[in-house]
Amino acid sequence: MAQRVAILTCVGNDDDGTGPGHTSLVIDSNTYSFEAIVAMTAWKTFTTRAYVADNTHRPLVIQELARGRVDANAVLRYIRITAAMGLDYLQHGVCSQQASMALSAGIRAGFNPRGIDTPWAVYAHAANRGLASDTYMIWSGSSGADQKLKYDFPTVTRTGNGILSW
């Protein structure tokens, strides 16, 4: 039975800090990412440790969601059902839209994903609704994404690795 959910926002699409970034969802020890794949569902599953290790070239902003505010099993159920349906990237939205839909399935009052089409907007919406019980970044390097991190996420100054021990 799933217990914990976090929003993982990759800052920038690559190491030069350009692009809107990427939104994934962490449920317990796995990360679920809706991304471009040819001829199969766009939902990919990674262990969170592997996902973080594959994204050391850019900052990762983590919002651990309050356990009483989100039903982790409902979020996971949405991901599994839509993965089995074979939803594909772009035709069924992008990472931030599908992450928002999954969160909406697990939040009693909904997440109101309409119009949310960037990773920053998912982060900001969760912050504005007070859904995060803890917010921090996983980042040990320096890249062009540093400027984007400072501009788009100025209040995220603490590093942590909570999701790596779930």
> Which residues form the domain of 139?
5-165
Tell which wins on pLDDT, 123 or 144: 123
pLDDT at 141 (0 to 100): 80
Determine how β-strand 30-34 pairs with β-strand 60-65. unpaired
Angle at which helices 95-106 and 72-85 cross, to 10°: 130
Render pLDDT for 104-124 as a digit per residue (tens, 0 to 9).
999 988 887 666 678 999 999
State phi, psi for 42 to the nearest 5 degrees: -80, -10
Predicted confidence at residue 72, as pLDDT, reads 97
Lowest average pLDDT, out of 85-94, 116-125, 135-144, 146-155, goes to 85-94
Instruction: Check if the beta carbon of residue 4 is closer than 8 Å to that of residue 67.
Output: yes
* pTM across the whole model: 0.94
| Cα three-residue angle 62-40-121, rounded to 5 degrees | 30
- Reported confidence tier of residue 14, pLDDT bands at 50, 70, 90: confident
- For residue 80, pLDDT over 70 is answered with yes
For the chain, how many structural domains are there in total? 1
Report, as an integer, the average pLDDT of 33-46: 83
The string of pLDDT tens digits covering residues 17-28 is 888 899 999 999
What is the C-alpha to C-alpha distance for residues 37 and 70, in angstroms, rounded to an integer? 28
